Amino acid sequence: MDASGSRDANREYYDAFSTDYERERGKNDPGGYHELLDELEAGYVKRFGQGRDVLEVGCGTGLVLLRIREFARRARGVDLSPGMLAKAEARGLDVLLGSATELPFEANSFDVTCSFKVLAHVPQIEKALAEMARVTRPGGMVLAEFYNPFSLRGLLRRLGPAGKIAQSANEHDVYTRFDSPARAKALTPPGCVYVGARGVRITIPSAKLMKHPLSRRLFRTVEHALCDSPLKRLAGFYVAAYEKRGDA
């Protein structure tokens, strides 16, 4: 499949997904599994982006971008799916339609460019990372989340049945890649240096376990404690941090 075919397939997948995307997210499951992930991801962005200009690539319905807007000077989002963007726009977020491999922004436009649960569905990942680096200012940060094959989540995702995401679509309907922490470092975009990472979903074997109040409190405490520890290399979601060199 060529690049345009992959974008069309991803757009159709996420447009279908947009209908039920928030059924167990945000206000429909406060303090739950997805909210924990959003907290850890947005919290990592805050480390580098407080009071600065931030772009989220693949912002979806805007749940993470809402959090980013609380601390950023300006928070913008771009997504391939009109269905997802409609919900982000309804939240009053600054978003527009666009592809991760052809970002509709001038070079050096943002201090932090981030992407969560999106790059795993992009065959041309090197091009997407290069685009993220292009629109980031020298001295700024690129934060890119990868699906980690060396994790419990990665094993279950690859060996288990495909999850249903809509009436007529499931997870097998979209391209999905897994890149290890070592591969994430090797994928450092041109003009950048790898400076660190955060791990998300290190200990949670199943999202369903966070339905129980006791296990929810336990996993939330443990995940926050371990996200920046050496165990981050075992996380289901591995967020690599690349700094754009000042001379790039």
Q: What are phi and psi of 164, to 5 degrees?
A: -85, 130
Could you tell me the residue ranges of all domains in the chain? 3-244
Distance CA 122, CA 99 (A): 10
Per-residue pLDDT of the chain (248 residues; tens, 9 = 90+): 345 555 555 555 544 444 555 555 655 566 789 999 999 999 999 999 999 999 999 999 999 999 999 999 999 999 998 988 999 999 999 999 999 999 999 999 999 999 999 999 999 999 999 999 999 999 999 999 999 998 877 777 766 655 544 445 545 667 889 999 999 999 999 999 999 999 999 999 888 888 888 888 999 999 999 999 999 999 999 999 999 998 76
pLDDT of the residue at 164: 47
Helices (H), 107-159: 125-134, 152-159
Fold of 3-244: Rossmann fold (3.40.50)
* Tokens at 104, concatenated: 């509709």
Q: Which secondary structure element, helix H or strand E, spans residue 16, and what is its range? A: helix 3-18
Q: Cite the beta strand spans of 128-189 per DSSP E.
A: 136-147, 164-166, 169-170
User: Contact 238/184 with Cβ under 8 angstroms?
Assistant: yes
